[in-house]
Amino acid sequence: MAAIRVEQVNERYGLDDPLPVQFVNYWKRTIQWDLGESYLTGRSVNDILKDKAKNSIRLGIWAIIIEIIVGISVGVYSAIRRYSLIDKASTVTTAVASAIPVFVLGYILQYAFAVYPNKQGWPDWMRLRTSNIGPPGSGDGTWFLFFIPTGEQWRYLLLPAITLDSVSTALAARMTRGSMLEVLNADFMRTARAKGLDERHIVTRHGLRNAMLPVVTLIGIDFGTTIGAAVLTETVFSWPGLGSTIASAVSDRDLPVILGLTLVVVLVYSIVNLLVDVSYAWFDPRVRLGGGAK
């Protein structure tokens, strides 16, 4: 029976054909957006993508939101209050956050905010959840505007989002601080102060906008990465996204799933980086798109 099964699989997927023929046939199907079928379940990779991609996108969006709010805010404040106690504390905190592996931080957060409160009998509203996309039977009905959690969903989303963006947030804070320090000492900032402009207006309107170019690059790369590269985070929290699906497919040697989902991740990464490059024109008026030097 096993031999017959192998022969059927080879015939169905053309695995007996020469490798160049297999390569050409694969790209013919891929151009038509036919990503094949799973060896293990026979399910279309396109259907798997539809089910899993939305979960990874939701997780990635919230990880980036946390990175933007926390990372940029901490970086800007540390630059303005250079060498203050908060600046020193944030420097130490970001260094530690950058050094802790994702899977270690994930288990620490699970124990601190889910397992330990449960053991201590804390009220349910003070406890977070450690796994699953949501309560049984909840489905997509507990998401508002696709990515805003309602009901119980925020309990399942918060810990993996924090874990996923911990290193990125630390890097964003450090990069924002360094970039802001350079901008704060620039000549145009001194000119703005000499004109008598409000300090908050100077920092937010002139300083932050000019300091955002490297930070935007980092955030764009992070968003493209979190969609599919969150293998450890999704595995630790049993989050059914692209990362955990790719990891399971690798262990099962399910090549169509691996190739199909990885291709989608690469496309998303490329598109996000293109959008980041285009956004430079908004942050820095000196950047011109397609016009060249004038």
Torsion region of 292: left, alpha or beta (phi above 0 gives left; psi -120 to 50 gives alpha): left
* Cα–Cα distance for residue pair 12/256, rounded to 1 Å: 13
Residue 287: the pLDDT is 61
Nearest to 103 by CA among 281, 200, 233: 233
- Please state, as a whole number, how many other Cβ atoms lie within 10 Å of the Cβ of residue 7: 12
Residue 171 CA to residue 75 CA, distance in Å, equals: 10
Out of 15-29, 189-203, 250-264, least confident range? 189-203
Provide the CB-side half-sphere exposure for 65 (13 A, CA). 11
**pLDDT for position 128:** 83
Q: How far apart are CA 179 and CA 213, in angstroms?
A: 9
pLDDT tops 70 at residue 131: no
DSSP string, 204-216: IIIIHHHHHHHHH
pLDDT reading at 142 higher than 70: no
Summary mean pLDDT of the chain: 81
| 47 — pLDDT class (breaks 50, 70, 90) | very high
Q: What is the pLDDT of residues 162-191, one digit of tens each?
A: 998 888 899 889 988 988 888 887 777 778
Give me the mean pLDDT over the 222-246 stretch. Answer: 81
Nearest-angstrom CA–CA distance, 43 and 62: 29
Q: What is the CB neighbour count within 10 angstroms for residue 24?
A: 12
Lowest mean pLDDT among 10-14, 232-236, 245-249: 10-14
Q: Residue 2 pLDDT more than 60? A: no
pLDDT in tens, 201-213: 777 777 777 788 7
pLDDT of residue 148: 82
What does 165-216 look like in DSSP terms, one character per residue?
HHHHHHHHHHHHHHHHHHHHTSHHHHHHHHTT--HHHIIIIIIHHHHHHHHH
Q: Point out which residues pair with 44 in neighbouring strands.
A: 37
Domains contained in the chain, CATH given: 41-283 (1.10.3720.10)
